């Protein structure tokens, strides 16, 4: 009944209640997946060193775009974190560490907190991926605020990630689109950077494109930002950008049309994306994506960064919290290619989680989160999860047994 009537796109359902076969998964937990925001942390380090606030905002914008770049071609579904599951990433060479915790199961909410080891910045937030099923596609709205604080500059920036859509979940080739407006607000002054992640549209020409600008409180434009979230981001003076755009329009640009099926039972094909970003003379390159490793397609299209996330190094055993995703037996079995064990273990863990919930209900006991507490974002006032501190003191004796 669930997959009936798929072409009408009129019904929605809560996908988190459906058990999908494990073959649609990738061997990472959603907590590890959100840690991929940190792949381009060097952009924040660089922003901290700049004295010009517009230049800082440009790098923050580049960081916000780079944070969602690893989504490209990643149609494998990450494992739903268990309540109380954590993930730690310590990167001494890159000068930061990060901790995340699954703080709610229904709805699923993941909270994270990262900071630089030299106290230059902290980056934190919570994510509640609200899924909608639209017949042929699944749309994920990543509810939750990202907050970046640059302590030396006494600056705080907040934004919300773009929408993410996986096309052709029933038939045809899966592909990913991200779209929506991302507004990065500088709370010290009310200046902002407005980034438009463009939907691919009827002609497909806009696929992956990001365009936006930095404006001050009086709405004066300071810099235009453009590029693709899959590729690179440039900044340029608004005047130069406008002149260039007009010239392009006059010459007709290229209007290669993309036939997108509207309705019907056909798959929505992904438009051709051969076109790379053309640099407009006078632009500054802010960020360029690192190429994926050669064996990426055999490895769930992971980036180099993603490939390292589930590594359990000898030095970690007995050091990381016993709730860390790296210790989850189902993900580990899947990584080792043992799908049957992965499937059985996943079922066992989910049943264990249900049993623990029933026991709590009997005793009228509430679940208490360990590293984060519910609160409001200092800058936006929105509901958020605030890091309580203490994870890196490594006192883990009273953590729940979730595996």
Which residues contact ligand NAG (rule: CB under 6 A)? 53-54, 57, 73-76, 154-155, 174, 186, 188-189, 191, 214, 297, 300-301
Smaller CB separation from ligand NAG, 84 or 212: 212
- Least distance to ligand NAG from the beta carbon of 234, Å? 17
* CB-CB contact of 2 with 18 (8 Å): yes
Question: Are 113 and 372 spatial neighbours (Cβ–Cβ below 8 Å)?
Answer: yes
Q: What's the closest the beta carbon of residue 227 comes to ligand NAG, in angstroms?
A: 19
21 versus 314: smaller Cβ distance to ligand NAG? 21
| Spatial distance between the Cα atoms of 323 and 399, rounded to a whole number of angstroms | 7
Neighbours of 162 (CB within 10 A): 24
Decide whether 155 or 324 has the Cβ nearer to ligand NAG.
155
Q: Smaller CB distance to ligand NAG: residue 8 or 49?
A: 49
* In contact, 155 and 167? CB cutoff 8 Å: no
Please tell me the distance from the alpha carbon of residue 313 to that of residue 291, in angstroms, as a whole number. 25
Least Å from the CB of residue 26 to ligand NAG: 7
Tell me which residue has its CB nearest to ligand NAG: 191
* Residue with smaller CB distance to ligand NAG, 343 or 369: 343
CB nearer to ligand NAG: give 111 or 334. 334
- Least distance (Å) between residue 209 CB and ligand NAG: 18
Question: What tokens appear for 260 in the block?
Answer: 């997108």
Question: How do 138-143 and 121-133 pair as beta strands?
Answer: antiparallel
Could you give the CA distance from residue 342 to residue 346 in angstroms, rounded to a whole number?
6
Residue 221 CB, shortest distance to ligand NAG, in Å, is: 12
Contact 280, 241 (CB under 8 A): yes
Least distance (Å) from ligand NAG to the CB of residue 96? 22
CA 137 from chain centre, in angstroms, equals: 18
CB 30, min distance to ligand NAG, A: 16
Rounded Cα–Cα distance for residues 354 and 366 (Å): 14
Q: Is the peptide bond before 59 cis (omega within 30 degrees of 0)?
A: no
Question: Between 40 and 74, whose beta carbon lies closer to ligand NAG?
Answer: 74
């Amino acid at each position: 009944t669930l997959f009936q009537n798929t072409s009408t796109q009129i019904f929605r359902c809560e996908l988190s209640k459906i058990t999908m076969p494990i073959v649609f998964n990738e061997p990472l937990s959603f907590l590890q997946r959100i840690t991929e925001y940190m792949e381009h942390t060097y952009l924040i380090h660089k922003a901290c060193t700049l004295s010009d606030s517009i230049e800082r905002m440009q790098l923050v914008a580049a960081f916000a775009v780079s944070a969602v770049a690893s989504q490209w071609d990643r149609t494998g579904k990450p494992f739903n974190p268990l309540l109380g599951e954590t993930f730690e990433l310590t990167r001494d060479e890159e000068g930061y560490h990060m901790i995340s915790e699954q703080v709610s199961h229904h709805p699923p909410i993941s909270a994270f907190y990262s900071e630089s080891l030299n106290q230059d910045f902290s980056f934190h937030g919570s994510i509640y991926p609200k899924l909608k099923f639209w017949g042929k596609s699944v749309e994920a709205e990543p509810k939750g605020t990202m907050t970046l604080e640059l302590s030396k500059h006494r600056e705080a920036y907040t934004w919300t990630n773009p929408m993410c859509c996986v096309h052709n979940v029933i038939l045809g080739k899966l592909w990913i689109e991200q779209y929506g407006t991302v507004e990065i607000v500088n709370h010290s002054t009310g200046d902002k950077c407005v980034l438009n992640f463009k939907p691919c549209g009827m002609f497909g020409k806009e696929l992956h494109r990001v365009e936006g600008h930095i404006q001050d409180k009086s709405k004066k434009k300071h810099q235009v930002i453009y590029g693709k979230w899959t590729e690179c981001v440039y900044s340029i003076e608004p005047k130069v950008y406008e002149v260039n755009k007009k010239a392009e329009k006059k010459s007709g640009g290229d209007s290669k049309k993309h036939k997108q099926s509207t309705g019907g039972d056909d798959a929505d094909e992904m438009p051709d994306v051969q076109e790379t970003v053309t640099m407009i003379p006078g632009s500054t390159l802010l960020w360029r994506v690192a190429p994926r490793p050669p064996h990426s397609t055999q490895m769930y299209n992971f980036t180099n960064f993603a490939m390292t996330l589930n590594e359990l190094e000898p030095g970690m055993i007995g050091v990381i919290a016993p709730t860390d995703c790296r210790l989850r037996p189902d993900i580990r079995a899947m990584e080792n290619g043992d799908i049957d064990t992965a499937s059985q273990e996943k079922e066992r863990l989910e049943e264990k989680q249900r049993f623990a919930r029933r026991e709590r209900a009997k005793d009228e006991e509430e679940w208490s989160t360990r590293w984060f507490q519910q609160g409001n974002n200092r800058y936006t006032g929105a509901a958020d999860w605030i890091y309580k501190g203490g994870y890196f003191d490594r006192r883990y004796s009273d953590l729940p047994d979730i595996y």
